[in-house]
Amino acid sequence: MPLKRKIRTTLNPDNLIKKQKHDSNQSIDIPIKNCLMWFRTDLRIQDNIALHKASTMIFTKSEKSKYVFAIYLISPEEWRSHDVAPTKVDFLLRNLKELKESLNELNIPLIIESVDNASDVPGVVIDWCKRLRISHLFANIEYEVDEMKRDKQIFNLATFNSIKLEMLHSQCIVNPGLLKTKEEKPYRVYTPFKNSWFRYVESDLSILEPLPDLFPNSKSIRISYLETFSFKVPSSIPGFEISSELAKISRLNFPAGEQYCHSLLSQFILQKASKYSNARDILSQNGTSSLSPYLASGIISARQCVYKAFKANNNKISTGNSGIVKWIEEIIWREFYRQILAAFPHVCKNMPFKKHFKNIEWNNEEENFMRWCQGKTGYPIVDAGMRQLNGMGWMHNRARMIVAMFLVKDLLIDWRKGERYFMNHLIDGDFANNNGGWQWCASTGSDAQPYFRIFNPTTQSSKFDPTGEYIRKWVPELKHLDSKQIHNPFGVLKGSEFKKLGYPEPIVDHQKARIVALEKFKNFCVRLLPLNARERLVNSNALPSLFLKDVNVPYFDYFSFIKHVNLPELWLSIEEWFIHNNQYFSMDYGLQVEKQLKVYKELLKHVVDRSESLIYNINLEDCNYTSFSVPFLFDLSEVIPKGSHLEVLQCFTWWPGEIFEDFIKIFSQVDMLILHCKEDNEMLANFLNVSKGLKALRINSTIASIPLISNALNLKARSLEYLEVNAGGSISLEIFSECDNLECLIVTKDDDYFLQNIFDEIKNMRKLSLKDYRKINFKDTAKIISTTNFHLTSLCLLWEEESDPENFSLLVSTIIVHCPKLKNLEIIFNENSASKILSLLCSCDKLKNLYLRNTKDWNIDMWMQNLGQVIPKTLKSLKLQNSFTFTLKSLKKFLFECERNSINGLRFNIQDGGYWIEEEHINILNDSVEKGILDASSQTSWMDPREFMQQVLLVLDE
Ligand SMILES: Cc1cc2nc3c(=O)[nH]c(=O)nc-3n(C[C@H](O)[C@H](O)[C@H](O)COP(=O)(O)OP(=O)(O)OC[C@H]3O[C@@H](n4cnc5c(N)ncnc54)[C@H](O)[C@@H]3O)c2cc1C
C-alpha cells in the first residue's frame, strides 16, 4: 500500500465556514437581537471584517434598541502555552486601551474579562452572549490548530444555545486555501504562490480596497447597558510583567494605537518604500517598515498596508516601483506562511514541515544554547542580533536569519528551541511567520533554504553591516573597533588585544561546524533512491525489505520498483537535491540507462508539479541517440509544461529532429545555446526560429555547411549579447555583422569575414577575446579596439604566432587610450614586446586580473624585476604561463617591489604548477603568503554548461 498523508480535515478553516453555512441552512434563521464581536488577533476598528459585519447587521436593521458589543478575553494560560512574550502582552494591553477608546466613540462597549483556564474560554464567551441577549457572535478566524479547536467548541456551544457564530477570514488579503496548484493542491513553494497571488489580485483589484467606516451604536446603549462601558484594561498581567527599561524602550519604538500605526505606514511608504529593495538588508539602516508588531496583533490589516503601497505605486501591484513591489512581496510571504499553516496543520504540532527531518539528532548543548540566548557566542553579528532581541523585543529580519541559521547549523541546536525563545521575547511574535522563518533557516520548511546553504556569520556581517554600526550599537564591548576588526575580532586582533575587550571567544569554529552540519543534514537529503526514503517505504509496506540494502546503486528491477514507489513520498526526500539546485533542472549525464530514465522521468514530473517557475537546463551532448534516452526525450512534452523557459541548451546539430520538434511544443524561450555543429538540422532551425530570446551563443566545431541553422541564428543576431565562436570553416559568419547589442565576443580560429565586417560596429563591447588567430595583425586589432567606445573591461589577445611585431606599440598605445576601464587582460608577448607590456601596466590603473602568456620558453629575469614596480595596486591576480622561467633572485626582487608598492593579497599563479619551479621558489612564495603580499590560489580550465551560463551572466551583469 502506498503511503497516504493524513490531513485533519475537520480543523480546516474552510470546513468550519462550510459547517456554519450547512448548519445555518438547516436551522431556522435566528432572529437578530444583539451582536457580539469577539476580538482576538485583530485589535482594530478599521478594515475588520467581523466587526464590520456585526455593525452592518445592526445598522441595516435600523433598530435603535439593538446593539453591537465587543469582548476581549485575557487568557494567560493560553498565552503561556503559546509562549507569548511579556513584551507582546504589554503591547496588547496598550493597544486594548486605544481600541477601547475608539470603540467608545462609536458607542460600542468593550468587555474585558480574565479567564484563568484556557478550557473555560468557550463557556465564558457563551455566558456573555446569554447575558447580553446576543443572537449573532462574530469573530475573525485564527488558523493555528489550538485556536481552531477552541473555535469548534464554541461553534458547538453557540449552536446549542441558538446563537449564530460567524467566523470570517480577515488576516490575509487572499484567504488561505483560495490559491491552489494546477493539481488543486496547496502551494508548498513561495514563488509560484506569489505569482498566483499576483494573478488573483490583479484579476480583481477591488480585493485590495479596505472596508468603509463602521456604523456607530445608538447612544441609547449607554442607558440600557451602562455597566458594560466600565471595564478597565489592566496595565499588566501577573506573570507577564516587563522591566521598566524594556517598557520604556517598547513605548518609544512601538507606540500603541491604530492612528499611530497608520502614520507609521504612511511615513514608510512616502520616505522609505522606494529604497526598500536595498535598504531592507542593511542592519544599521532603519530601512524596513517596523510594522510587524502591528500586523501580528492585528492593529492594522495586511490589506490596508498593501492598498497604501498600491496607491503609491500608481495603482500597480506586481510592477512599477521595485522597492514597493518587493515590500508587497514580503507581505505575500506572510500570506504564504498562513496558507501553509492552514493547509499543513502538523507544523503547529512541533513537527517539521518536511516530516522526514524529524529524526535529526541535535546536539542541544545547554551551555551553547544559553550563550546564544544571551548574545555571547563570540560572533559579533549573532550577538548583536540576540542582544537587540533581548533589549527591545524586536530584531531586524536579516539578523533573525543569521542568528537562526547559526543556532541550527553552527551549534546544531534544535530549531524549535530557537523558535520558542523568539516567541518568548518578540513583540511581533507570530506563529506562522516565526515557524516559517525558523523552518526556512533550518532547511526543514516549505520552500526553505537547502540544507547545504549555510550562512557564514562573518561574511554576512561584513556584507550587511559593512560599517559595523549595528554591532557597535548592541555589543558595546566592540564599539572601539574599526570596520575591519569588528566582524571577527578574535581572528583579527592579537591575543592580548582581544582579551582586553572582555568579549567572549567564538564558541565554535564556523568552518568546522559547517562540515559537521553538512554531514548531519546530508543524511536527510540523499541522492536518487536514498536509503531513508527506502526505509520509509519499507516501513509502510510500500516495498519489500530487500530494497533496504545500503548500496549506492541498488541492484533491483527499476520497473517493478517504480510500480511500488509512492513517488510523492520519495520526492520529499530528494526534493532538496532537485529544486534547490538553483532552481535549474538539468537533464545531463547519466541518461543512458533506460531503467534509470524511467525513474528520472517520473521524478521529473514531481519536480515540475512542485515548482511552476522551474528553469530548465538541457545538455544533450552526452546522449547517444541510438540508446534508450531518445524515447524518453521524445516524451518530454508530457512532463514539462508548455511555454517553459529553457535557460541553457547544449546540443549537437546531428540530434534527431523529433527532439527539437518536442522542444517547439514545450519551450517558448531559450536564453543560451551551446551548439556543436556538424551538419544542418531543419527541426533545430525551426525551433530556433520560433523560440524567443537568445542572449548568448557558443558555436563549436563547424565542419559542414549549415545554411538552415545559420539563417535561424541570423534572425537572432540582433538580440545576442554574448557570442563565442570556437569554430573555423564553413559557418556563415555574416550573421554576426547584425550583432549590434553584443557585449562580449570571443573568437578562436580566425575568419577573414570578421576583419572586414564585424568590427565596424562594436560600440557596446565590454569583453573581447581573439584566440588562435593567424591572419589578423596588431594593426587591425588596434583598429578593432578603437571602435569599442571606451567600454572594454576584458581583453584577451592570443595568437599562435606573433605576426606583426612592428605594430605592437600601436596596439599597446591603443589599449592605453581606448581601454580606461580595463580590469582583465590576457595577452601574449615576447622579448621584443616585453618593455611595452610594462608601460601598458603603468597606465592600467583598474586592472584586477593579468594573465601573461608566451608561445615558447623564455627567461624573464630582468623583466620580472621591474614588474613589481609597475603592477597597479588594484591587481588581485597575476598568472604566468609556465613557459616563462625566472631565478630565485628575480622572484625575491619582484616580491620586494610588490611589498614596497603596497601590493596586498595578490594571487600569484604559474599555470600548471610550473615544472621548473624548485622547492626554494615555493618556500619564498609561502613566505609571501604569510606576509600578506600573496594569496595562494589554483585554477581549473574545464567548463561545463552551468559554468558557461555563469560566465555569460558575469559578463552581462558586470
Ligand atoms: C527566524 C525568523 C523568525 C521570524 N519571526 C517572526 C515573527 O515572529 N513575527 C513576524 O511578524 N515576522 C517574523 N519573521 C519575519 C520577519 O523577520 C519580520 O516580519 C520582519 O523583520 C519585521 O520587520 P518589518 O515589519 O520592519 O518588516 P518589513 O520588511 O517592513 O515587511 C513588512 C511586513 O511583511 C511581513 N514579512 C516581512 N518579512 C517576512 C518574512 N520573511 N516572512 C513572513 N512575513 C514577513 C511582516 O508582517 C512585516 O511586518 C521571522 C523571520 C525569521 C527569519
In the chain, domain spans: 9-229, 355-522, 853-958
262-276, 413-427, 564-578, 679-693: which has the minimum mean pLDDT? 564-578
Give the C-alpha separation, 181 to 446, whole Å: 15
CB 455 within 8 A of CB 406: yes
pLDDT exceeds cutoff 90 at 637? no
pLDDT exceeds cutoff 90 at 881? no
Cell numbers of 502, please? 572582555
Q: Please choose from 83, 84, 326, 428 the residue to mutate so as to test ligand 1's pocket, defined by most ligand atoms within 8 A of CB.
A: 428
* Nearest CA among 393, 471, 478, 383 for reference residue 429: 393
Residue 404 beta carbon below 6 angstroms from any ligand 1 atom: yes
pLDDT over 70 for what percent of the chain? 76
Write out the CATH class of domain 355-522. mainly alpha
ipTM, two decimals: 0.99
Give the C-alpha separation, 405 to 412, whole Å: 9
Q: What amino acid is encoded at 312 in this protein?
A: A
CB 636 within 8 A of CB 608: no
Give the C-alpha separation, 401 to 935, whole Å: 31
Give the C-alpha separation, 155 to 27, whole Å: 14
Residue 437 beta carbon below 6 angstroms from any ligand 1 atom: yes
* 332 annotated to a ligand binding site: yes
Catalytic residue among 438, 440, 474, 571: 438
Atom of ligand 1 nearest to the CA of 290: 26
Highest mean pLDDT among 1-10, 350-359, 431-440, 569-578: 431-440
pLDDT exceeds cutoff 70 at 168? yes
Q: What amino acid is encoded at 295 in this protein?
A: L
Q: Please choose from 82, 334, 409, 455 the residue to mutate so as to test ligand 1's pocket, defined by most ligand atoms within 8 A of CB.
A: 334
pLDDT exceeds cutoff 70 at 737? no
Which helix (DSSP H) or strand (DSSP E) does residue 690 occupy?
helix 682-690
Residue 283 beta carbon below 6 angstroms from any ligand 1 atom: no
Pairing of strands 767-773, 794-799: parallel
* Cell 621591474 sits on residue: 866
pLDDT given for residue 197 in this prediction: 96
438 is catalytic: yes
Catalytic residue among 415, 440, 474, 655: 415
Give the C-alpha separation, 755 to 774, whole Å: 12
Environment class of 773 (CB within 10 Å of its CB; exposed 0-12, middle 13-18, buried 19+): buried
DSSP string, 888-921: HHHHHHHHHHHHHTT--SEEEEEGGG-TT--HHH
* Nearest CA among 306, 345, 374 for reference residue 146: 345
Q: Which residue has the higher pLDDT, 25 or 852?
A: 852
Distances in Å between the Cα of 775 and the Cα atoms of 755, 797, 799, 805, 811 are 9, 13, 9, 13, 16
* 365 annotated to a ligand binding site: no
397 is catalytic: yes
Residue 292 beta carbon below 6 angstroms from any ligand 1 atom: yes
Give the C-alpha separation, 577 to 450, whole Å: 8
Atom of ligand 1 nearest to the CA of 396: 21
pLDDT tens profile 72-89: 999 999 999 999 999 999
pLDDT given for residue 568 in this prediction: 58
User: What is the CATH architecture of 9-229?
Assistant: 3-Layer(aba) Sandwich (3.40)
Give the C-alpha separation, 856 to 858, whole Å: 6
Question: φ and ψ at 587, to 5 degrees?
Answer: -100, 85
Is residue 905 very low, low, confident or very high in pLDDT (cuts 50, 70, 90)?
A: confident
Torsion angle (degrees, nearest 10) of CA 552, 556, 558, 560: -140
Residues in Cβ contact with 656 at an 8 Å cutoff, skipping those fewer than 6 apart: 625, 630
* Nearest CA among 565, 620, 550 for reference residue 595: 565
Residues in the chain: 958
Residue 217 beta carbon below 6 angstroms from any ligand 1 atom: no
Q: Rounded mean pLDDT of 274-303? A: 96
Give the C-alpha separation, 519 to 528, whole Å: 17
Give the C-alpha separation, 533 to 587, whole Å: 23
